[in-house]
Every structure is written in structure tokens, then in C-alpha cells.
Amino acid sequence: DSGVTQTPKHLITATGQRVTLRCSPRSGDLSVYWYQQSLDQGLQFLIQYYNGEERAKGNILERFSAQQFPDLHSELNLSSLELGDSALYFCASSPRSMGSAEQYFGPGTRLTVT
Amino acid sequence: AQKVTQAQTEISVVEKEDVTLDCVYETRDTTYYLFWYKQPPSGELVFLIRRNSFDEQNEISGRYSWNFQKSTSSFNFTITASQVVDSAVYFCALSEDLYNQGGKLIFGQGTELSVKP
């Protein structure tokens, strides 16, 4: 158990809908990262928050947004969903904002768009 | 640009064989960090090891060992006396130490290891 929690574990929704994925980091970690894992793109970094502020952005679509709240949990919002958004979404946390710290991953949310 | 290449897509071995998973990386940064993660069939990503670019000392942890060579930009992972429980997808990842990059991990495509009894 990494100490990172993600809900829900599975999500099935229809095209055009909007969903919210939730992540709680390990106790004491200030950074939260979101990654997408799909068969064609592999594991890709989406976005990082550090202590409530956006820190780095990767290949995140404009239809996707995220935020980190004062209690450090984070939410990833996916809107106008398309079939291609079906993937495993991971949240990870680390104590620092830069690359020197290992990231611990949550169990993931499997999103299926039908 | 940063890139991680795991050329071996799938490897199949018989239990007790030794197996090496290859990882080659590209970066222009002088300070960087390399990682290995394991993704068992249950799907979670499990952290295995982190190395920084200034420490080329090889590391051993039980049946696992890692060989970091800056001269060839490689960070290979060896499992000695493999076991069925080692069956998983293994990912190599790179993180740079640039302020505007945050701590994002750049992953290779992964190597699926199958250990047969």
C-alpha cells in the first residue's frame, strides 16, 4: 500500500459526459501528479500540483483540468469525454516539487468511455 | 529532448533464470534521476529504485540489481533467480532537475516480463 488513495476505482460513462477523479496524497507529501496510461500512448504525464499551485503541465488536453485543495487532495476533471479518453488514470505524490524525490502511485482509476 | 527507451517489449524466462531488462535514456540535463517501477497484473505501479546522475555505484537489493552507466546512458535492471511473482511490466523512468519541469516522470514503454514455472 503506497498510502496514495484514488476514487473511484472504476468509472464507466458515455461520450460527451464529464467526470471527476479524486486523489489523496501520502501524509506529508505536497506534490500531486496525474498520469494517463493507455495502450497506444503508454504512461504520460498530465499535470503536477505543489502545495495548491500548478507546477508543471504535460500533454493535458484542454478538456481536462485539475486542482489541488488546501487539504492537499487533488481532483482531475475530464469533460466532453471521447472514446479515446478511455484509460487508466494514476495519481502519484511526492514530498518535493522537483525530480529528486520518488513518486508513490495510487491504485489508479480505470475510465471506460462508451 | 528527454526520452527513455526500453527496447525489449516482452521477455519470457523460466523460473530461476537470470534476466536483464534494458533501459536507455536521453537528456541534456547534467542533473537527473532514474527510476524503475513495477506494474504487476493487479495494475498498481510499485516504486523499486531511484538513482541520481552523480551516483554511478551499482545497487543490489536481494535478487534485484541495477547497473547505471552514464557513458552509455543506460540503467539496466537484473533479476537473479527469477520467480513467478516477478511476472509484471517493468517501467524505467527519467526525471530532470529543472525548475520549470517540476518533478514529472518520463516513462519508457515498459517491458513485460513473464516468468514461467
| pLDDT per residue as tens digits for the range A11-26 | 999 999 999 999 999 9
Which amino acid would we find at residue B100?
N
| pLDDT per residue as tens digits for the range B71-83 | 999 999 999 999 9
State the pLDDT confidence band at B70, using cuts at 50, 70 and 90: very high
Nearest to B113 by CA among B24, B44, B41: B41
Instruction: Give CA–CA dist A69/A22, Å, rounded.
Output: 11
Q: Which residue has the higher pLDDT, B97 or A42?
A: A42
In this prediction, residues B81-108 reach a mean pLDDT of: 89
Does residue A70 have a pLDDT over 70? yes
Per the CB < 8 Å rule, is A105 touching B47? yes
Q: How near does any CA of chain B get to the CA of A15, in Å?
A: 25
Per-residue confidence (pLDDT) for residue B100, from 0 to 100: 62
Per the CB < 8 Å rule, is B103 touching A98? yes
A84 neighbors A40 (Cβ within 8 angstroms): no
A51 neighbors A70 (Cβ within 8 angstroms): no
| pLDDT per residue as tens digits for the range B5-25 | 999 999 999 999 999 999 999
Residue B47: its chain A contacts at CB < 8 A? 2, 102-105
Q: How near does any CA of chain A get to the CA of B28, in Å?
A: 15
Per-residue confidence (pLDDT) for residue B86, from 0 to 100: 97
- Average pLDDT over chain B reads 93
Residue A96: its chain B contacts at CB < 8 A? 103
